[in-house]
């Protein structure tokens, strides 16, 4: 393969002939993949980039194209292959390299033997686009590169004398790379109409978004096209840290094919005798349970009992957003549960995650990753309402929770989650109907007023496919934890308490609201 | 007037270097890859060669190795972002001076002056 023929059409025909003969030698189902090494991206691409294919990576300045492409290069060189980074910018790539040196994926020992950075700008100035093509072909071949990054496609477009010339350039660039067995990534920040020829001609198109919603900024990656390969559609969250790019496939898309396992036989103990009795033996294994109630009603305490039954052979995971591990350990100790020992033996892992700027996809992937890593059979998620707070588009919440619960069930995990309700007493309306339908079991905690004191009550609203005691049971929390049943007279109201100002108006109803309705 | 050959594929770097050197009173030629530089040295030997490492067609280290093999004894300054201690072991250290990229204008001129003996 020598220099570029004088007749560009001849070259195109010649190359097409070669390519056609190469394609017939390969079964469509066996298209090789090039793994990017970027966490989550290969999942979105359903296995990685297609080898020998050309992709446009498009995004505004600062979107992350340079970091992403460099990270892919070093992932490539780590596998012993050779990459070539060609820039069409007039600016020096030394500055870019300086920034990349701060990234965790940068491997100085691979530069320049396995990853070389060169500029094609001088070739463009002296010989135009044909000069760039010749340089790319020669360098790809000379170095044996199987991954080529071409940074600055829009510069080529500006240099082309016509749209036709630009189309031919992209076509020939793609053809050269494919013939040489190199995967080609074309970086550009110019937003052109999707019907523009370059998007039609390339095999794949990945777009990076950088959006601001009121005060929050979010980075999203979207695959528009991957010819010959499936991918996860829609926009997927990604982050850029000192380690590089990390992609979090959108939960509803990632878990969509997750088939929930059949509900396992047997019961999982709550760790509370009375509650196990109400459930006629305990929670159905691998079921999902929602505990719903006002702040301070005891939702977390129920969760502590639930995870206290874990063992190193059948561990538990506590995932929360509010109480730090130290506070949880102290809280559990006050009711006779030794979380510290459970942590030590591996029966329990506590993950506390400050909400901050977290996004829900990141949180869900973290939960599932921790479950898989620990082999947890019990999972307690304290504060499901926090997921809503981390969402930019709240309408996703039921889809996300549904996908998560299916995934957890497929992993054989029994899940208990809590959701806060602003109504202190028995609510007339759950106000969260969509969430309660997603869970197999729903428990409601609420306060009631009896004989001048506030009592805590639990009602089982639903247990899917199982029998249960359909009555509201009073419970209290003592040094032994949660105990069902009414307190004794002296426990109800301390002897030195001031007289109850409402004692004469005590109607015996559970809540003032209910009293008001009955008295009308 | 001394002649300096700048061998650099990045346009902005070669432009900046050329302007600096011309302001200092040098005549500057530019080659964009090692192969082109070899031709230019054969045709019009410079007083000093300033060479980049990573370039298309022929990189700076190969160019320096070939020049020395051909018997060229003039001073050569290697300018690259690759740390000097990280240069390939197989390279026979044919350069006379090393400057790390990115560099400041003053550093660059001082290095050139040292190599040319303040000519």
B12 contacts in chain A (CB < 8 Å): 90-92
- Closest to A54 (Cα-Cα) out of A158, A194, A199: A199
A138 contacts in chain B (CB < 8 Å): 56-57
Contact A92/B at CB under 8 A = yes
> How confident is the model at residue A505, as a pLDDT?
46
| String of DSSP letters for B50-102 | EE-SS-SSS-HHHHHHHHHHTT--S-EEEEESS-GGGS-TTS----SEEEESS
Among chain B residues, the shortest Cα distance to A136 is held by B56
- Closest to A306 (Cα-Cα) out of A264, A341, A348, A265: A348
Q: Is A380 helix (H, G, I), strand (E, B) or coil?
A: strand
- A206's enclosing H/E stretch is strand A204-213
Residue A105, pLDDT above cutoff 70 = yes
Residue positions counted in chain A: 520
Structural domain boundaries, residue B53:
3-115
Contact A108/B at CB under 8 A = yes
What pLDDT digit, counting tens, does each position of A183-231 carry?
A: 999 999 977 777 787 888 899 999 999 999 888 899 999 999 999 889 9
In total, how many domains does chain B have? 1
Section A44-54 average pLDDT: 94
Residues β-bridged to residue B80:
B100
Model confidence at B18, in pLDDT bands (50, 70, 90)? Answer: very high
With a CB cutoff of 8 Å and minimum separation 6, the contacts of A98 are B81, B102
> How confident is the model at residue A489, as a pLDDT?
54
Section A469-495 average pLDDT: 74
> How confident is the model at residue A146, as a pLDDT?
97
Q: Which residues of B touch A (CB under 8 A)?
A: 9-14, 32, 53-57, 59, 81-83, 86, 88, 101-102
With a CB cutoff of 8 Å and minimum separation 6, the contacts of A337 are A304, A305, A308, A481
> How confident is the model at residue A17, as a pLDDT?
37
Q: In what order do the strands lie in the sheet with A115-119?
A: A115-119, A83-87, A147-151, A183-188, A54-58, A204-213, A216-226, A235-241, A244-248
Q: Is A506 helix (H, G, I), strand (E, B) or coil?
A: coil
The rounded percent of chain A whose pLDDT value lies above 90 is 58
Query: Residue A505 and residue A519: Cα distance in Å, rounded?
Result: 12
Model confidence at A274, in pLDDT bands (50, 70, 90)? Answer: confident
Model confidence at A51, in pLDDT bands (50, 70, 90)? Answer: very high
Average pLDDT over chain B reads 93
Q: Do A138 and B56 touch (CB under 8 A)?
A: yes
ipTM: 0.83
Q: Provide the CA B82 distance to its chain's centre, in angstroms.
A: 15
What CATH number is given to the structural domain containing B111?
3.40.50.2300
End-to-end CA distance of chain B: 9
Interface probe for A, chosen from B10, B61, B88 (most Cβ of A below 10 Å), is: B10
- Closest to A435 (Cα-Cα) out of A410, A462, A456, A465: A462
Model confidence at A2, in pLDDT bands (50, 70, 90)? Answer: very low
Q: How far is CA A374 from CA A311, A312, A316, in A?
A: 12, 10, 8
Across the A/B interface, how many CB contacts are shorter than 8 Å?
55
Model confidence at A495, in pLDDT bands (50, 70, 90)? Answer: low
Joined tokens for residue A448? 């009631």
Joined tokens for residue A42? 């290969």
User: Could you tell me where the DSSP H helices lie in A358-470?
Assistant: 360-374, 385-389, 397-410, 433-438
Residue A449, pLDDT above cutoff 70 = yes
What pLDDT digit, counting tens, does each position of A319-364 carry?
A: 999 889 999 999 999 999 999 999 999 999 999 988 777 889 999 9
Query: Residue A37 and residue B25: Cα distance in Å, rounded?
Result: 50
A142 contacts in chain B (CB < 8 Å): 57
What pLDDT digit, counting tens, does each position of A118-131 carry?
A: 999 999 999 999 99
Q: Determine the distance in angstroms separating the CA of B88 from the nearest CA of chain A, rounded to an integer.
A: 9
- Closest to A377 (Cα-Cα) out of A425, A342, A338, A412: A412
Residue A266, pLDDT above cutoff 90 = no
> How confident is the model at residue A431, as a pLDDT?
56
> How confident is the model at residue A506, as a pLDDT?
44
Residue A434, phi then psi, degrees to nearest 5:
-65, -35
Q: Do A98 and B54 touch (CB under 8 A)?
A: no
- Beta strands at A244-248 and A235-241: parallel, antiparallel or unpaired: antiparallel
Among chain B residues, the shortest Cα distance to A97 is held by B81
Contact A316, A347 (CB under 8 A): yes
A51-60, A104-113, A421-430, A502-511: lowest mean pLDDT where? A502-511
Q: Provide the CA A445 distance to its chain's centre, in angstroms.
A: 31
Residue A520, pLDDT above cutoff 50 = no
What pLDDT digit, counting tens, does each position of A275-321 carry?
A: 898 888 889 999 999 999 998 889 999 999 999 999 999 999 999 99
């Amino acid at each position: 393969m020598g220099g570029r023929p004088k007749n560009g059409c001849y070259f195109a025909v010649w190359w097409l002939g070669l390519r056609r003969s190469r394609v017939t030698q390969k079964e469509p189902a066996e298209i090789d993949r090039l793994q990017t090494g970027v966490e989550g991206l290969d999942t979105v691409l359903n296995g990685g980039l297609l080898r020998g294919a050309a992709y446009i990576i498009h995004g505004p300045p600062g979107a992350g194209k340079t970091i992403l492409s460099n990270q892919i290069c070093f992932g490539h060189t780590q596998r012993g292959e050779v990459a070539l980074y060609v820039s069409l910018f007039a600016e020096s790539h030394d500055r870019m390299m300086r920034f990349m040196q701060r990234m965790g994926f940068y491997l100085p020992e691979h530069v320049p033997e396995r990853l070389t950075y060169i500029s094609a700008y001088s070739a463009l100035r002296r010989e135009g686009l044909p000069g760039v093509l010749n340089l790319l072909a020669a360098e790809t071949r000379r170095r044996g590169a199987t991954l080529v990054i071409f940074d600055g496609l829009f510069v080529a477009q500006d240099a082309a004398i016509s749209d036709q010339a630009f189309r031919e350039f992209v076509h020939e660039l793609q053809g050269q790379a494919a013939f040489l067995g190199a995967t080609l990534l074309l970086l550009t920040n110019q937003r052109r109409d999707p019907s523009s020829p370059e998007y039609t001609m390339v095999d794949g198109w990945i777009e990076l978004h950088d959006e601001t919603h009121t005060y929050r900024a979010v980075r999203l990656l979207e695959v528009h096209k991957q010819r010959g390969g499936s991918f996860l559609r829609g926009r997927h969250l990604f982050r850029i840290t000192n380690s590089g790019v990390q992609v979090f496939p959108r939960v509803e898309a990632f878990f969509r094919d997750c088939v929930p396992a059949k509900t396992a036989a047997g019961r999982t103990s709550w760790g509370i005798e009375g509650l196990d009795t109400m459930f006629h033996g305990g929670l159905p294994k691998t079921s999902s349970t929602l505990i719903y109630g006002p702040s301070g009603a005891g939702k977390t305490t129920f969760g502590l009992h639930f995870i206290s039954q874990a063992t190193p052979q059948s561990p538990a995971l506590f995932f929360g957003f509010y109480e730090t591990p130290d506070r949880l350990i102290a809280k559990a100790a006050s009711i006779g549960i030794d979380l510290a020992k459970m942590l030590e033996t591996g029966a329990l892992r506590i993950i506390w995650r400050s909400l901050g700027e977290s996004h829900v996809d990141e949180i869900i992937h973290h939960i599932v990753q921790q479950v898989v890593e620990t082999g947890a059979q019990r999972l307690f998620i304290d504060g499901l309402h926090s997921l809503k707070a981390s969402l930019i588009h709240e309408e996703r919440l039921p889809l996300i929770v549904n996908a998560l619960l299916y995934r957890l069930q497929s992993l054989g995990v029994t899940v208990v989650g809590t959701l806060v309700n602003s109504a202190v007493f028995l609510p007339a309306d759950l106000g969260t109907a969509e969430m309660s339908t997603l869970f197999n079991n729903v428990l409601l905690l609420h306060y009631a007023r009896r004989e001048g004191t506030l009592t805590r009550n639990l009602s089982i609203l639903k247990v899917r496919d199982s029998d249960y005691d359909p009555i509201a049971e009073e419970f209290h929390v003592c040094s032994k934890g949660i105990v069902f049943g009414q307190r004794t007279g002296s426990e109800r109201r301390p002897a030195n308490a001031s007289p109850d100002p409402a004692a004469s108006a005590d109607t015996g109803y559970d809540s003032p609201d209910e009293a008001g309705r009955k008295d009308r | 007037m001394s002649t300096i050959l700048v061998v650099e594929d990045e346009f902005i770097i070669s432009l900046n270097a050329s302007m600096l050197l011309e302001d200092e009173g040098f005549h500057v030629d530019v080659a964009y890859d090692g192969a082109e530089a070899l031709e230019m040295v054969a045709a019009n030997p410079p007083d000093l060669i300033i060479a980049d490492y990573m370039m298309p067609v022929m990189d700076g280290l190969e160019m320096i190795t070939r020049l020395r093999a051909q018997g060229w004894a003039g001073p050569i300054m290697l300018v690259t972002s690759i740390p000097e201690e990280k240069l390939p072991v197989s390279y026979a250290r044919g350069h006379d001076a090393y400057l790390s990229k990115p560099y400041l204008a003053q550093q660059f001129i001082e290095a050139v002056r040292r190599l040319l003996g303040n000519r």
